[in-house]
Amino acid sequence: MKEAIKRQNLNNEFYTPELCFVTELSNSLDDSEVSIARIRVEIGVTTCWHKLRGTSERYYILNGIGRMEVGELPPQDVTVGDVVLIPSMCRQRIINIGTEDLIFLAICTPPFSEEVYVDVEDDQEFRAAKRQDY
């Protein structure tokens, strides 16, 4: 890695099939050990159940209130300053239960790539959870 300053550019935000908006802050060959993305979840939205293969993730909550579902933990509310640790292949999703956009950093090691994303929405085990009312 070489020293650098990377600027946030919210004009590069894009919508994903996971039902959230992503702005890549750092995910390139010049920093091959970690990726950082700004994630935005709109009011009332539940992201899709998913796992990351071979990649651990941390959520650092910047704005709003969410309900985090991760692994075998019971659902828990998260807010500004909270950190969620998500091991590789651990099912996860987050629900924006607040009155403003839920914004957090997703910090991945090794860096995130589309190849590590595993959609588990169609798994029978998760269908009942998807229908729950929040």
Predicted confidence at residue 27, as pLDDT, reads: 93
Name the CATH architecture for the domain at 36-121: Sandwich (2.60)
Question: Global pTM?
Answer: 0.88
Which of the residue ranges 27-31, 78-82, 122-126 would you say has the lowest mean pLDDT?
Answer: 122-126
Lookup: tokens for 3: 């020293």
| CA-closest candidate to residue 123, choices 50, 20, 34 | 50
Predicted confidence at residue 118, as pLDDT, reads: 94
β-pairing verdict for 21-26 and 65-70: unpaired
| CA-closest candidate to residue 26, choices 42, 2, 50, 54 | 2
| 109, amino acid identity | T
Phi/psi for 12 (5° steps) reads -90, 5
Sheet of strand 14-15: strand arrangement: 14-15, 21-26, 35-41, 102-109, 56-63, 83-86
Lookup: tokens for 61: 């909550």
